[in-house]
Structure 1
Amino acid sequence: MDFATGRKKAPQSKWKVLVLFILGTFSVAVVWYLRAEPYMPGPYMIAEDDSVMCSQGDVEKKALLMIENYTRNHPAFLQMSDFFWEKNLSAYQLPYGTQGSEEILLKVLALTMRYDMPDSIQNLPCWRCVVVGNGHRLKNSSLGDVINKYDIVMRLNNAPVHKYEHDVGNKTTMRLFYPESADFDPNLQNNPDSLMVLVPFKTPDVQWLKAVLNNEKRSRKGFWKSPPLIWDVKPENVRILNPYFMEVTASKLLNVSIKSPRKHKEKPTTGLLAITFALHLCDVVHIAGFGYPETTNNKQTIHYYEQITLKSMADSDHNVSHEAQAIRRLLEARIIRNLTHF
């Protein structure tokens, strides 16, 4: 009995149990946070003048530990000089190499005449990149201002910016696409200096690009969906992604055989390819809007801008579960960071 208050004292053993319970609960919470943190939104904003956030070579060092024979000794985009030296002959056909497509590629590269990054990017001391996926997670995310503050903003295929600026921003450094996904207004959905980066899956993709740039007769043959016949873009803003990055994505991140592409139909999505490309290009790599609904969820839309579900992916050559595992490994190794839930 506490004679000052008139209350009975709690037995000492009960206090010990209570303290242990609190400590145990706190420990579990800390462990949960540390395990879950790679999949949670970043707790900070990216400031334009924040030099501390960017450390040159950080992503490269981490990628070396995870990706076998990783090297940055490859140009980002194809250039005419690639086809004039025997040492650069490719061992694979598109989408993993240029074998058999050299002649048409030379003709297209002669039209664009630009194979590098813009000076505004080249002159930056450190490259902070965000790969903006097309996922439903971006809807109502209010990440627009955050995305706009990165040095390089990569967008994918026909994902719109107009009318979605609050969630996805309005800055586009480059947009990776293929002909079937080019059904958008290049001027409305991009900035005047945005790079339009062709991801060539097959030779007809390059032939289509040559036709639209040179105003030649278009052909719809060889496409799973009709590409646009009119495509208003400046040739100097066009680049062709080096197929090397598709090779690395398939063989190193997805462990897909690239020697017999007809037998192994699984091909990387543009999204995972863009992440691989960013690993080779950037000093900081963040992603947003990646991840698909559970396979049992037939009603959840997969994109922030249209009402299609996972069912639409059933007949594609992409294995979304396989890709989710690859992205999760990159997150767990802290090579990349996620701004949205994954």
Structure 2
Amino acid sequence: MVAFMRRLKALLLLPITGLLMLFISHHGGEEWWIALQQPFQPDDLSKCTCDKCISEGDEWFMAHFNQTVHPFLTRQSNVSAQNFLWWKRLQGDPNDLGTFRRAVDRVFQLFPSGKRLMGSGPRHCMSCSVVGNSENLQASHNGALIDLSDAVFRMNGAPTKDYEEDVGKKTTFHIMYPESAVDLADNSTHLVLVPFKTLDLYWLISAFTTGSIRFTYLPVKKKIKANKDLVMILNPEFIKYVYEIWLKNNGRYPSTGFLGLMLAIHICDEVNVFGFGADQNGNWRHYWEELKNKNLRTGVHSGREEYKLIQQLATKGKINFFPGR
């Protein structure tokens, strides 16, 4: 976590004006502001230039970490029949593999197909902040620290407006499923869809075109505001890999937040984690909501197992974990 911690030290030592001058001097005149507005373009994942890279060392971590499972769905993705059968059970998908493959083909008639997260040439050490939605973000004052990362991951309905001091305002990847979808204010933010059924792929098409799909198992947004050219879709095989290898089949399937964390582990060099875990009373609630159900838990997800894995990743030095208050 060397690159990120250097930035942290700079943040702690510099007042706001000094921090601004640091960015300007680093990026050169007005170029720093232009650079921050550009769509995120991660380079070749094999060219990690960190002093310590996330994919190096530790027998336990390497027994779980599988770089051959591509996180994103493409037109060329070959989801196996076995993995499809597992995935379709998550939310009772009635469709067969052929219908799923036709849906994938239709999706990539509208959205960029086979978009790569890699490129050639050297790059710097890429740091990422994964921001969960836990109440423990409140009064954390971690917003500026979160925004120091090269890429910031957010999930579902997470707002930043009026919460910037604690959660930051930068969003590079916004991960959602149809029932949790929100409009994206920033045209440079990637919408990352987590599909749990074939209908989710058809909803994605509808949300950018006709708006005809308004209900799945809940009412959903009929239209969504986002950059069509930056849409990405999580691979069902990646979801299964996270569930079986990392979570050891705990819960019905991984939470969106944990999938976001594992995605960051696979595409970033350094991963910094904020906003995960229950509150002081053991309740799982969002930082922007009042808790009405005093017995709120994590539903189909194994919150305790996910949190335990986050702590273990931190202990192993694979992530930098900020548990909050």
Shorter-chain TM range is: 0.7 to 0.9
Q: Which amino acid aligns with 1:82?
A: S
Superposed displacement of residue 45, structure 1 = 0.8
Q: Which residue of 1 aligns with 2:179?
A: 180
Q: Within 2, Cα distance between the matches of 1:315 and 1:281?
A: 27
Q: Which residue of 2 aligns with 1:230?
A: 223
Q: Within 2, Cα distance between the matches of 1:68 and 1:270?
A: 23
CA gap 1:282/1:56 in 2 versus in 1, 3 angstroms: farther
8 Å Cα contact 1:212/1:229 also seen in 2: yes
Aligned residues: 279
8 Å Cα contact 1:145/1:166 also seen in 2: yes
Superposed displacement of residue 143, structure 1 = 1.1
Q: Within 1, Cα distance between the matches of 2:320 and 2:97?
A: 35
Q: Which residue of 1 aligns with 2:82?
A: 91
Q: Which amino acid aligns with 1:211?
A: S
8 Å Cα contact 2:64/2:245 also seen in 1: no
Q: Which residue of 2 aligns with 1:45?
A: 8
Superposed displacement of residue 92, structure 1 = 1.2
Deviates more, 1:305-314 or 1:227-236: 305-314
Coordinate RMSD, CA, aligned: 3.3
Q: Where does 1:13-92 land on structure 2 (aligned, <5 Å)?
A: 45=8, 55=50, 58-62=53-57, 65-68=60-63, 70-83=65-78, 89=80, 91-92=82-83
TM-score, normalised to structure 1, is: 0.71
8 Å Cα contact 1:78/1:240 also seen in 2: yes
| Identical aligned residues as a percent | 27
Q: Within 1, Cα distance between the matches of 2:86 and 2:288?
A: 28
Q: Within 2, Cα distance between the matches of 1:312 and 1:206?
A: 33
Which of these two proteins has the greater Rg computed from alpha carbons?
Answer: 1
Q: Which residue of 2 aligns with 1:37?
A: none
Structure 1 residues without counterparts, runs of 5 or longer: 1-41, 258-264
Are 2:209 and 1:214 aligned?
A: yes
Secondary structure at 1:323's aligned position in 2? helix
Q: Within 2, Cα distance between the matches of 1:177 and 1:123?
A: 31
One of 310, 314, 317 as aligned partner of 1:327: 310
Deviates more, 1:126-135 or 1:323-332: 323-332
TM-score, normalised to structure 2, is: 0.75
Q: Within 2, Cα distance between the matches of 1:196 and 1:341?
A: 26
Q: Which residue of 2 aligns with 1:169?
A: 168
Superposed displacement of residue 245, structure 1 = 2.6
Q: Within 2, Cα distance between the matches of 1:62 and 1:155?
A: 28
8 Å Cα contact 2:176/2:194 also seen in 1: yes
Q: Which residue of 1 aligns with 2:20?
A: none
Q: Which amino acid aligns with 1:155?
A: R
Q: Within 1, Cα distance between the matches of 2:151 and 2:58?
A: 19
